[in-house]
Amino acid sequence: MAAGDDSKDPSMEDDQASSPGPSFYRNGLFIFFHNVRNALKADEMGKEISSIAVPAALALAADPLASLVDTALVGHLGPVELAAVGVSVAIFNQISKVAIYPVVSVTTSFVAEEHPNRPHEAQSRDAEDPRRDSVALPGDMQKRPFLPSASSALVVGVVLGILQALLLGFAATPFLRLMGVKPTSPMMAPARQYLSLRSIGAPAILFSLAMQGVFRGFKDTKTPLYATLAGDAVNIILDPILIFVARWGVAGAAIAHVISQYVIAAILLWRLVQEVQVIPPHIRDLKFSRFLTCGSLLLARVVAVTFCVTMAAYLSASRGPIPMAAFQVCLQIWLSTSLLADGLAVAGQAILAGSFATGDHQMVVDAASRVLQLSVILGLGLSTFIGIGMRFGSAVFTKDKHVQKLIQTVLPFVAATQPINSLAFVFDGINFGASDYVYSAYSMVVVAVLCVVSLIILSYTHGFIGIWIALTIYISLRMFAGIWRMGAARGPWKFLLDMKKSS
């Protein structure tokens, strides 16, 4: 697929580029076992995946791990403060992910499609439009490639970040009340303070994540990693100083987080302007139509995804500070470790987007098989680590015995779902790399409806543990949605029916 060609979708390509295969290949499930003996082999494919996935996983895990530090430090202020931060983070993440996820995901795929072909296309466009030569750009900016998707993503990120900051800044109290925090609750004041201050960092977060999407499209995940580590180091250093030394409490935790986000954004922008021409030669070179089309589908998906988690947080908060505090700790662990699998998802998306664009279906199969197999191995490792580590480490997050008891109650769900989480996240990356946005959106809406129903019923019948049973059902359905699409060889995966059986 040519870069910037809006009319052609990889999911609609003819199967001419695929190899003819035996007629008994009736489904695409063979992809799960394709070259399974080479799952851990350090061959060319393994090295490419690891070079993308490892830095991406570390970068993705860095921020939740920094949030774990926040959680641990705030937890020593008391269960009320921990619960207040927990409900505020749930609101902030819900609003953020609605904007972040579509921007990052579509940017990665679009840039991966555009980047390999940009020199040729840029020359063709300049020849067709000589007015571009007259555009005065500072220094050597004209020598750097211009990628419409990259510049478009930055504009979208800034605008959405400002809107989010205004929304959370002026409507913190209504959002907290929607989450079940009553005006008379001791959680209200610290939660409102934390959420209002965290909103100041929203523009930096969305701007930096838009830039991360660009770097992922370049298959460069090291730059975002270095920037994230630098920002999180600032956060970790400032946390104890502002929380305990300055005695700012939860406000100190929020301010430290905001400062760290602007540090990350500044580093990424400095590096990006050295790689590409950020300022478009002409306003019409910005391609917002692709972002609106694909982004609207992913918007529906991310609303469905985050609504399930937010609903679970609401049900926990409505049960009081102790259940909400336990939920916050378990959720942070659940997400922090699960996001390691997102590194594989990023690698799969970047490789598949370019392979689908060039019609290299064999590369699609090789890459998809390898990241799926690695996700299972990763998930099993995470289950073991959490099951053993948290059995003895819950006291790190809180000294409250009641909170610790609840954490131990749901720990089996947090640990056992790690392989399922890993597969679900990797399937997201694979589907986005295949530009299968329609199915990704609709399937997740169905999953979300079933999840909300199970949350309501199980929280009523089984209390706090019922919430985690429902979350287990949710992530399992999300995984099976990915398995069915590929296994049934539907949409962009139709070519699997004609692939040769490979060893």
Cβ within 8 Å of residue 94, ≥6 positions away: 306, 307, 309, 310
- Residue 125 within a domain: no
Of 337 and 371, the structure prediction assigns the larger pLDDT to: 371
pLDDT tens digit string along 173-200? 999 998 888 898 999 999 999 999 999 9
Residue 79 pLDDT grade (very low, low, confident, very high; cuts 50, 70, 90): confident
pTM for the full predicted model? 0.72
Amino acid at 235: N
Give φ, ψ of 419 to 5 degrees. -60, -35
| CA atoms in the 13 A half-sphere facing the CB of 345 | 23
H/E element, 250: helix 250-275
Q: How far apart are the C-alpha atoms of 213 and 91, rounded to whole Å? A: 23
Q: What is the pLDDT of residue 362?
A: 87
Instruction: Confirm whether 418 is domain-assigned.
Output: yes
In a domain, 3, yes or no: no
Residue 143 falls inside a structural domain: yes
The tally of domains found in the chain comes to: 1
**Residue keyed to tokens 């997740």:** 444
**Would residue 124 count as lying in a domain?**
no
Report the distance separating Cα 496 and Cα 144, nearest Å. Answer: 38
Give the CB-side neighbour count of residue 212, counting CA atoms within 13 A.
30
DSSP 3-state of 265: helix
| 130-173 residue pLDDT tens | 433 333 444 444 577 888 888 888 988 899 899 999 999 999 99
The span from the CA of 140 to the CA of 41, in Å, is 42
DSSP 22: -
Residue 330 belongs to some domain of the structure:
yes
Q: Coil, strand, or helix at residue 248?
A: coil
d(CA 175, CA 250): 18
Rounded CA gap, 95 and 87, in Å?
A: 13
| Averaged pLDDT for residues 473-492 | 90
Residues 382-440: tens digit of each pLDDT = 888 887 876 666 667 777 788 888 888 888 888 889 999 999 989 988 988 888 888 98
Residue 344 has pLDDT above 80, yes or no: yes
The residue range of the domain holding 316 is 10-118+139-498
| Residue 131 maps to a domain | no
